[in-house]
Structure 1
């Protein structure tokens, strides 16, 4: 997983799940975007591009995936039916050489391109824990997500055409970028 985080002015935050509100501090919210390559021991093998925003569900902080594309029909169907994750189909190009370069396209054009270069490894394997808040069957669906990953600091560059839903990603440099290697994720209880 190649993850970048941005602090974004409230007016530029992507729409979140109905029933949630953006979590902001000093008028800015946290937006994350990631290229994910599921391979090796993954149940399914596919590529993914996502954007998520930090929200409040009542008083609780949650993560809401606002935009997500995959190249697997099975992943698309499962994500929508089980967790309310609004997956769409795209074509991906992933190249590894001195880092990773990614591109995602639909029939309407390029969604985004990115390049990530690892800088320094952080020792050990780090726990991952958050709760998703999505809309499923007209109601808020929360899903616990747990996992572990080896973390590396990275330098990432994101570009997206102005007419892409991800057009804002290239307008400012990420606050921080990380590579999550050999990660595990478990959705639900």
Structure 2
């Protein structure tokens, strides 16, 4: 059901106004990727003047499988790549590749925050502390498959800042063409073992093993609390 205040851009689907308050669960794998192996489609998404966060000569790359559950403004599945960057002397995350199962999320993510969301289909199976998920693009091509096993829960509830900065516009050299958004995630944190297999769109990650796996459950996400355009 569409709520009051949802926005339309042209003939596209309506989407909620910012900020979005979402509920859900995250499974995250962290990879170290040599800078030379970052593909053009990732590099071209970086805002002008930003640089990837580097550890031991490698870019730090996060891959997240997210299920946003009922109780927030939208409920849908999401698969994303997150690249921590330094932009104007501040640490943030750029999302160069992302797929969602909701047309409203796709439209809103693009219009509000410059996040290049595409559509996908998700198939998930959860049994206790284990998750298996398969993600396919609109043409049925496999995007990724993951298996997640929670190993240890960290006591308490954790609040994590998740600022994003996204490149927008067509001017390749204009440093003002970006959107910065202040966001946060609050939930239960767990160490996890994550295994990933990637399809053609994410082939630059195929064969790499995550150096860290984690899960966040019972999460409350606030996206777009403060936005700089």
**TM-score above 0.5, yes or no:** yes
**Residue number in structure 2 paired with 1:173:** 209
**Residue number in structure 2 paired with 1:153:** 191
**Residue number in structure 2 paired with 1:105:** 136
**Residue number in structure 1 paired with 2:35:** 10
Instruction: With the length of structure 1 as denominator, give the TM-score of the two structures.
Output: 0.93
**Contact 1:17–1:140 (Cα < 8 Å) also in 2:** no
Considering fraction of residues, name the structure with more strand. Answer: 1
Unpaired segments ≥5 residues, structure 2:
1-25, 171-176
SS state at 1:128 partner: strand
Aligned residues: 187
**Residue number in structure 1 paired with 2:121:** 91
| Bigger Rg, structure 1 or 2 | 2
**Contact 1:159–1:167 (Cα < 8 Å) also in 2:** no
**Residue number in structure 1 paired with 2:67:** 37
Structure 2 residue aligned with 1:142, among 161, 172, 180? Answer: 180
Query: Runs (4+) of structure 1 moved beyond 3 Å?
Result: none
Instruction: With the length of structure 2 as denominator, give the TM-score of the two structures.
Output: 0.77
**Contact 2:159–2:187 (Cα < 8 Å) also in 1:** yes
Unpaired segments ≥5 residues, structure 1:
none
State the superposition RMSD in angstroms. 1.4
- Range with bigger deviation, 16-25 or 112-121: 16-25
Alpha-carbon separation, structure 2, partners of 1:26 and 1:176? 15
Give 1:58 deviation, angstroms: 2.1
**Residue number in structure 2 paired with 1:185:** 221
